[in-house]
């Protein structure tokens, strides 16, 4: 098999950004990207599609349009990892060799884990912004439901963009409020977890909207079954004494978010740690057992928020460290766990959560410009007008505005 300097598995947000970042730094690198999909998606836009703000087609491009010119695109799925041989197996039975591997295959949406859900989606009032083809149905439902009960669910962590289940809820409520329908709606949030949002700073602002929209909060309540024809959802509710009971709720609209798991090919490989996620050092993003392997994006075990914003900060860190590894040097850059979740609380306003490892607040702007703990129009403007072009024209092109990697050892003497 052919040996590349760098093989990148996954041409999503993380994989393309890393390829571009590497080529910006060293244009002569021989890079292959292994990616079976025909299209690349801007998934952060799906929340906006679900509220009728973005057109679906603005979130999808042909994969070839984001592949950097100088990479070899292998149009196949990775089927196995053999890090000791520095080899990956491909779906057609062939294989590739590398000097350095960057694994960025994302995660798997486990729709099948909730009996009845897959069959119900797209009709009977059952939708999910977690699928390109269904986000427009969320908007259609929010625009046509004239009263009744709407359920919004969130599975156990980790999930990508942990705020997305409630973003869909607030924006739907805002559509009902504007249409005068909200008083006839009974809205419930069912979260398998125990809190509204994992970083407490943002919870008070979110609670104001929960109250304004009259949302009923259910924590420790996991969606375990859907009967689309009957319009009934089944939840498993954990009691404080550890007991679990099943509760049925009928609905007029159900926005479901599926459990999220590592890809099978990853979980079954030597790259996986406990739980099946790729086990990397949280700072350098280098694999803990295989020094020729780096990983980033949704596929890793690192405890950051799984977001495109995280991948934007991780890509240059991985690029710097891959170049060091190719020269036999130690990693030179580190990642602080930055992730961002623009919580769309109403059309026109966002609570902009930005935080790193351990819930440390990492705001991009000083508070007098943008206070992330409050709903602001500026944050909506960013999400609506700025972040899509930043994604397509900066992040995916290796233009690292506001995300220069930090050196591994912060030099105190330099200060």
Residues that bind ligand FAD (CB under 6 A): 9-15, 34-37, 43-44, 46-47, 77-78, 104-106, 129-130, 160-161, 164, 263, 265, 297-299, 306-309, 311, 340, 342
Told to judge if 39 belongs to the known catalytic residues of this protein, a careful annotator would answer no
Residue number with CB closer to ligand FAD (187 or 315): 315
Sign of the dihedral defined by the CA atoms of residues 377, 380, 382, 385, in that order: negative
CB of 180 to ligand FAD, least distance (A): 28
Coil, helix or strand at residue 91? coil
CB of 391 to ligand FAD, least distance (A): 9
CB of 250 to ligand FAD, least distance (A): 25
The helix (H) or strand (E) run that includes residue 341 is strand 339-346
Q: Which of 164, 168, 171, 129 is nearest to 348 (CA)?
A: 171
CB of 131 to ligand FAD, least distance (A): 8
From the list 39, 161, 173, 403, the catalytic residue is 161
Told to judge if 341 belongs to the known catalytic residues of this protein, a careful annotator would answer yes
DSSP state letter for 93: S
Exposure string of 110-136, with b = 16+ CB inside 10 Å and e = fewer, is ebeebebbeebbeebbbbbbbbbebbb
CA dist 176 and 214 (Å) reads 12
Residue nearest ligand FAD (C-beta atom): 12
> Can you read off the two tokens belonging to residue 380?
């909506």
CB of 264 to ligand FAD, least distance (A): 9
CB of 35 to ligand FAD, least distance (A): 5
CB of 3 to ligand FAD, least distance (A): 18
* CB 24 within 8 Å of CB 50: no
HSE (side-chain half, CA atoms, 13 Å) at 147: 3
From the list 39, 173, 341, 403, the catalytic residue is 341
Chain centroid to CA 173: how far? 23
Residue number with CB closer to ligand FAD (15 or 331): 15
Residue 291 CB partners (closer than 8 Å, separation 6+)? 325
Residue number with CB closer to ligand FAD (36 or 122): 36
CA dist 344 and 44 (Å) reads 12
Residue number with CB closer to ligand FAD (100 or 182): 100
Contacts 24+ apart (CB under 8 A), 115-118: 115/224, 115/225, 115/226, 116/225, 116/226, 116/227, 116/228, 117/223, 117/225, 117/226, 117/256, 117/258
Residues serving a catalytic function are 161, 341
């Amino acid at each position: 098999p052919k040996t590349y300097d760098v093989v990148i598995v996954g041409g999503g947000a993380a994989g393309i950004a890393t390829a571009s970042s590497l080529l910006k730094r060293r244009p002569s690198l021989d890079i292959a990207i292994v990616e079976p999909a025909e299209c690349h998606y801007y998934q952060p836009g799906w929340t906006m599609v679900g509220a009728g703000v973005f057109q679906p087609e603005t979130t999808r491009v042909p994969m070839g349009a984001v592949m950097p010119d100088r990479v070899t695109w292998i149009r196949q799925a990775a089927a196995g990892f053999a890090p000791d041989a520095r080899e990956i197996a491909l779906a057609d039975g062939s294989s590739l060799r590398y000097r350095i591997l960057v694994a960025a295959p994302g995660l798997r949406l486990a729709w099948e884990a909730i009996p009845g859900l897959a069959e119900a989606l797209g009709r009977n009032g059952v939708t999910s912004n977690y699928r390109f083809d269904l986000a427009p149905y969320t908007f259609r439902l929010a625009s046509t439901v004239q009263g009744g009960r709407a359920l919004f669910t969130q599975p156990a962590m980790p999930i990508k963009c942990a705020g997305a289940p409630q973003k869909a809820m607030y924006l739907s409520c805002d559509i009902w409020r504007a249409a005068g329908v909200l008083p006839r709606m009974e809205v419930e949030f069912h979260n398998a977890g125990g809190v509204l949002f994992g970083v407490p700073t943002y919870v008070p602002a979110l609670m104001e909207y929960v109250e304004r929209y009259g949302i009923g909060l259910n924590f420790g309540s996991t969606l375990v079954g859907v009967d689309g024809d009957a319009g009934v959802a089944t939840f498993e509710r954990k009691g404080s004494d550890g007991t679990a009971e099943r509760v049925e709720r009928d609905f007029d609209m159900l926005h479901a978010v599926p459990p999220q798991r590592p890809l099978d090919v990853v979980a079954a490989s030597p790259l996986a740690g406990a739980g099946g996620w790729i086990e990397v050092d949280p700072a350098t993003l280098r694999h803990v057992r295989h020094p020729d392997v780096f990983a980033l994006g949704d596929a890793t075990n690192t405890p950051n928020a799984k977001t495109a914003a995280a991948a934007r900060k991780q890509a240059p860190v991985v690029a710097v460290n891959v170049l060091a590894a190719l020269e036999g040097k130690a990693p030179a850059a580190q990642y602080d766990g930055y992730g961002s979740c623009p919580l769309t609380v109403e059309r026109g306003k966002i609570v902009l959560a930005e935080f790193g490892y351990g819930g440390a607040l990492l705001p991009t702007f000083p508070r007098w410009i943008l206070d992330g703990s409050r709903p602001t129009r500026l944050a909506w403007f960013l999400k609506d007008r700025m972040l899509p072009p930043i994604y397509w024209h900066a992040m995916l092109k290796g233009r690292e505005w506001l995300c220069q990697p930090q050196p591994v050892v912060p030099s105190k003497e330099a200060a």
